[in-house]
């Protein structure tokens, strides 16, 4: 994998980014209603002033060009709904929270998923296999908006071990990140189990045994790398899912993350916030997938990206 | 001469959902230091299982060792703990396998796989082992061994990989090398090179070798003694000449007839009629009974006792004289 490949990947991003900006820009504007349509109390004169302030009185095309010009300067514009706040400010405030939530969820997913799957693979067709795999079916089938309230009910209300809302202390982080990571942990445990069991049936494992390696050496040196490749390639989609899935979790646990702004802005037709958050999501997902592909190529010497 | 490996009435079965697969059903023979013993027989006759099982290389269950002795240097391998066996594997007994494409780990450099036996059994540091392994690669005729150590398996051809496997198996100077169809997956010219290599190394190291193959041409070229297996049993053993010129067992004869020969041009090779039996339902009698053109009433009921001629040539058949 060379620098050429990296450049090519980045070059592909340019037209896609252009397309995303254009699509989101026009789609949100053609949706019925507008940022000020719900404010019935404002008079026609004030409305006109508002529209002029945000350049909404200009033709759509020049608004579009203006957006691109601002975008090039890294300016995502002012929010239409949160007076005196820019989209950049909103993102600067909410993104770290969402990133932290997402990374914690991913950590849970990998930790729980790999250890449960590893255990199942070491002792297939025993309780160590059946119990984690039963849980994982549950995790895959249950949506976040069911898992979240159940966790809240059990650990928050019955056992009273953990707080059920907010984002101040470390205890606040446990339930939301578990809720968000649960389904991914479930899926990763299946991938781990399958990957490891497949590797253990390979002939090179027999070779390793014939050389006198111990079981733990065989697992660590000869099985993990190949066996976890399916997990690595799943991390891309998983990250994308976690980033976007955070919307629901943030709502359940009342966390001031990006997801809430995204939903709220779509409902309120806060055009610039919708644009800004969508573009951010797109960029994050793109970068994550890119990183995962690079990691994959490092782990599997047979993969050559051209 | 004291045998290096002495297998006595050894039985190993698979307990599967379908029933008990009697893959190795009472086999007896010796392997002597510095000699090559070839194991031949049709596919499914138990050649691989007969070796892999006593080395602890098959999962238990489904495999279960049912009895007998496998004496290596006078010690019974079947009585050893997994730890004791592990110390012998890759040190005094090394193995090479049929598929050079899949027998090496694709995710690890050749070098880091090559050094493992030396690090584990000889307590070498990685650096020392790396040097020794590089020399081992040179000995098996790999040019630019330094570079090869840094490469990954997929960068090599099948023949090269088999050389790597051989070099790796020999780093610890084993007393016994078990080669399970080492050339079957290679094309003919490479086959000849690999066999030549094995032979020369064997003579140099005075190492014993068990060569599993279904190519009788390979046997004629490289073996000292031959074991003919069928349905988990040994049908005939003897020197190469005993088997090729004085074989006493109808199955050995049939096997020889179905092998192409350079000195006779035949339009069609006679194949052995019928299929090997299902090892789950083998009877008490001779498992070759249904396919044998000499079949007698007793064959169905009883497995024949050993007949012998001289010290080495032994066979198991009810038929007195075959033509
Ligand atoms: N894990 C297993 N479970 C059940 N039966 C098995 C298993 N492995 C091998 N067998 C059976 O044991 C018998 C002997 O197999 P083995 O691999 O020793 O044959 P072989 O003589 O080496 O054949 P080939 O020439 O094809 O390599 C076969 O009937 C096979 O189906
Ligand atoms: Mg075999």
Using DSSP's 3-state secondary structure scheme, residue B64 falls into: strand
Using DSSP's 3-state secondary structure scheme, residue A204 falls into: helix
- Please indicate whether, in this complex, the C-beta atoms of A212 and B108 are within 8 angstroms of each other: no
Residue B226 has pLDDT above 70, yes or no: yes
Q: How many percent of chain B have pLDDT more than 90?
A: 47
Structural domain of B257: 5-92+176-187+207-316
Q: Shortest CA distance to B181 belongs to which of B213, B158, B216?
A: B213
B97 touches chain A (CB under 8 A): yes
Residue A261's CATH number: 1.10.3720.10
Say if residue B73 is in the same domain as residue B113.
no
Say if residue B180 is in the same domain as residue B244.
yes
Residue B317 has pLDDT above 80, yes or no: yes
Look at phi and psi of residue A152 and say left if phi exceeds 0, alpha if psi is from -120 to 50, else beta.
Answer: alpha
Residue B222 lies in a domain: yes
Q: How many percent of chain A have pLDDT more than 90?
A: 22
Say if residue B130 is in the same domain as residue B247.
no
Produce one character per residue of A206-227: b if its CB has 16 or more CB atoms within 10 Å, e if not.
bbbbbbbbeeebbbebbbbbbb
User: How many other C-beta atoms can be found within 10 angstroms of the C-beta atom of residue B306?
Assistant: 11
Could you tell me if B92 and B176 are in contact, meaning their C-beta atoms sit under 8 angstroms apart?
yes
Look at phi and psi of residue A218 and say left if phi exceeds 0, alpha if psi is from -120 to 50, else beta.
Answer: alpha
Residue A49 lies in a domain: no
Residue B58's CATH number: 3.40.50.300
Name the domain count of chain A: 1
Q: What is the distance between the alpha carbons of residues B105 and B152, in angstroms, rounded to a whole number?
A: 9
Say if residue B46 is in the same domain as residue B79.
yes
Structural domain of A115: 95-299
Residue A50 lies in a domain: no
Determine the straight-line distance between the first and last CA of chain B, rounded to whole angstroms: 34
Say if residue B212 is in the same domain as residue B281.
yes
Q: What is the distance between the alpha carbons of residues A154 and B65, in angstroms, rounded to a whole number?
A: 51
Residues 6+ apart with CB under 8 A from B63: B12, B13, B14, B15, B49, B53
Q: Is the distance from the beta carbon of residue B13 to the nearest atom of ligand 1 less than 6 Å?
A: no
Strand partners, B96: B179
Residue B105 has pLDDT above 80, yes or no: yes
Q: Is the distance from the beta carbon of residue B48 to the nearest atom of ligand 1 less than 6 Å?
A: yes
Q: Is the distance from the beta carbon of residue B23 to the nearest atom of ligand 1 less than 6 Å?
A: yes
Atom 28 of ligand 1: nearest residue by CA position: B44
Q: Shortest CA distance to B229 belongs to which of B218, B246, B209, B213?
A: B213
pLDDT at A44: 76
The number of the ligand 1 atom at minimal distance from the alpha carbon of B14 is: 4
pLDDT-derived band of residue A225, with 50, 70 and 90 as boundaries? confident
Name the domain count of chain B: 2
Sheet of strand B208-212: strand arrangement = B93-96, B176-180, B208-212, B36-40, B225-230, B233-239, B313-316, B306-309
Nearest Cα of chain A lies from the Cα of B40 at a distance, in angstroms, of 22
Boundary-marking domain end, from B149, B173, B197:
B173
Residue A216 lies in a domain: yes
Q: What is the distance between the alpha carbons of residues A72 and A64, in angstroms, rounded to a whole number?
A: 13
Helices A258-268 and A87-122: angle between axes, nearest 10 degrees: 130
**Which residues on B lie below 8 Å from A206 (Cβ)?**
52, 57, 97, 103
What is the count of residue pairs from A and B with beta carbons less than 8 Å apart? Answer: 71
| DSSP-assigned letter for residue B45 | S
Among A210, A211, A302, select the one facing B106 at the smallest CB separation: A302
ipTM surpasses cut 0.95: no
Say if residue B21 is in the same domain as residue B167.
no
Residue B192 lies in a domain: no
Give, for ligand 1, the residue of B11, B14, B230 to mutate: max count of ligand atoms closer than 8 Å to Cβ. B14
* Residue with the two structure tokens 């990957």: A195
Residue B175 has pLDDT above 90, yes or no: yes
Among B55, B99, B107, select the one facing A226 at the smallest CB separation: B107
- Please indicate whether, in this complex, the C-beta atoms of B86 and A210 are within 8 angstroms of each other: no
- Please indicate whether, in this complex, the C-beta atoms of B102 and A203 are within 8 angstroms of each other: yes
Residue B321 lies in a domain: no
Residue A4 lies in a domain: no
Among A206, A221, A222, select the one facing B57 at the smallest CB separation: A206
Q: What does the pLDDT look like over A20-76, one tens digit per residue?
A: 999 989 988 888 777 776 666 667 777 777 777 777 778 888 889 999 999 999 888
Q: Which ligand is nearest to the CA of B45?
A: 1
Q: Is the distance from the beta carbon of residue B99 to the nearest atom of ligand 1 less than 6 Å?
A: no
Sheet of strand B5-15: strand arrangement = B20-31, B5-15, B63-72, B75-76
DSSP sequence for B115-174: THHHHHHS---HHHHHHHHHHHHHHTT-SSHHHHHTS-GGGS-HHHHHHHHHHHHHTT--
Using DSSP's 3-state secondary structure scheme, residue A83 falls into: coil
Give, for ligand 1, the residue of B44, B47, B228 to mutate: max count of ligand atoms closer than 8 Å to Cβ. B44
- Please indicate whether, in this complex, the C-beta atoms of B105 and A206 are within 8 angstroms of each other: no
Among A206, A211, A300, select the one facing B116 at the smallest CB separation: A211
Say if residue B115 is in the same domain as residue B71.
no
Q: Report, as an integer, the average pLDDT of B308-315.
A: 89
Residue A141 lies in a domain: yes
- Please indicate whether, in this complex, the C-beta atoms of A212 and B152 are within 8 angstroms of each other: no
Nearest Cα of chain B lies from the Cα of A299 at a distance, in angstroms, of 7
Say if residue B85 is in the same domain as residue B154.
no
- Please indicate whether, in this complex, the C-beta atoms of A301 and B107 are within 8 angstroms of each other: yes
Residue A249 lies in a domain: yes
Q: What does the pLDDT look like over B68-91, one tens digit per residue?
A: 999 999 899 999 999 999 999 999
Residue B196 lies in a domain: no
Residue B201 lies in a domain: no
- Written as six digits, the tokens of A287 are 């970068």
Residue A207 lies in a domain: yes
Residue A47 lies in a domain: no
Name the residue in chain A with its Cα closest to that of B97: A207
Residue B33 lies in a domain: yes
């Amino acid at each position: 994998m060379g620098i050429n490949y990296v450049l090519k990947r980045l070059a592909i991003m340019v037209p896609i980014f252009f397309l995303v900006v254009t699509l989101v820009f026009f789609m949100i504007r053609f949706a019925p209603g507008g940022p000020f349509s719900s404010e019935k109390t404002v008079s026609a004169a004030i409305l006109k002033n508002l529209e002029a302030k945000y350049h909404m009185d200009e033709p759509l095309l020049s608004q579009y060009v203006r957006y691109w010009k601002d975008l090039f300067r890294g300016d995502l514009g002012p929010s239409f709904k949160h007076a005196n706040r820019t989209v950049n400010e909103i993102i600067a405030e909410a993104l770290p929270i969402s990133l932290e939530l997402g990374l914690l969820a991913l950590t849970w997913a990998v930790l729980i998923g790999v250890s449960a799957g590893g255990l199942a693979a070491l002792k297939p067709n025993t309780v160590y296999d059946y119990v984690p795999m039963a849980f994982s079916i549950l995790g895959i089938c249950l949506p976040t908006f069911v898992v979240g309230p159940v966790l809240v009910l059990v650990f928050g209300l019955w056992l009273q071990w953990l707080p059920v809302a907010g984002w101040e202390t470390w205890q606040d982080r446990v339930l939301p990140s578990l809720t968000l990571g649960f389904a991914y942990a479930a899926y990763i445990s299946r991938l781990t189990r399958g990957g490891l069991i497949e590797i253990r049936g390979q002939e090179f494992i027999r070779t390793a045994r014939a050389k006198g390696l111990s079981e733990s050496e065989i697992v660590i040196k000869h099985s993990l790398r190949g066996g976890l490749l399916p997990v690595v390639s799943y991390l891309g989609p998983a990250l994308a899912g976690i980033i976007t899935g955070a919307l629901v979790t943030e709502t359940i646990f009342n966390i001031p993350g990006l997801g809430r702004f995204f939903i709220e802005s779509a409902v309120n037709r806060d055009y610039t916030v919708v644009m800004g958050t969508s573009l951010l999501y797109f960029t994050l997902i793109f970068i994550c997938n890119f990183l995962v592909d690079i990691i994959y190529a490092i782990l599997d010497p047979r993969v050559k990206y051209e | 001469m004291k045998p290096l490996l002495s297998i006595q009435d050894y039985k190993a079965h698979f307990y599967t959902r379908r029933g008990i697969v009697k893959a190795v059903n009472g086999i007896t023979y010796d392997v002597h230091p510095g000699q090559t013993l070839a194991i031949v027989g049709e596919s499914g006759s138990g050649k691989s299982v007969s070796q892999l099982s006593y080395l602890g290389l098959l999962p238990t269950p489904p495999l279960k060792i049912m009895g007998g002795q496998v004496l290596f240097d006078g010690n019974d391998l079947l009585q050893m703990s997994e730890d004791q066996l592990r110390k012998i594997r890759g040190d005094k007994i090394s193995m090479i396998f049929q598929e050079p494409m899949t027998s090496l780990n694709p995710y690890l450099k050749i070098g880091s796989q090559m050094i493992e036996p030396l690090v584990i059994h000889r307590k070498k540091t990685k650096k020392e082992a790396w040097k020794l392994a590089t020399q081992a690669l040179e000995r098996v005729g790999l040019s630019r061994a330094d570079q090869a150590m840094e490469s990954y398996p997929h960068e090599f051809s099948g023949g090269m990989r088999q050389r790597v496997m051989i070099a790796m198996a020999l780093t610890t100077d084993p007393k016994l090398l078990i080669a399970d169809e080492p050339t079957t997956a290679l094309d003919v010219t490479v086959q000849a090179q690999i066999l030549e290599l094995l032979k020369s190394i064997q003579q140099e190291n005075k190492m014993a070798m068990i060569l599993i193959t279904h190519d009788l041409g390979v046997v004629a070229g490289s073996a000292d003694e031959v074991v003919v297996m069928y349905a988990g049993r040994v049908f005939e053993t003897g020197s190469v000449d005993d088997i090729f010129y004085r074989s006493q067992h109808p199955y050995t004869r049939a096997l020889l007839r179905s092998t192409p020969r350079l000195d006779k041009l035949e339009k069609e090779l006679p194949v052995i009629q019928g299929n090997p039996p299902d090892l789950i339902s083998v009877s008490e009698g001779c498992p070759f009974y249904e396919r044998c053109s000499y079949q007698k009433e007793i064959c169905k009921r009883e497995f024949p006792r050993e007949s012998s001629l001289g010290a080495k040539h032994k066979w198991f058949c009810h038929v007195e004289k075959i033509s």
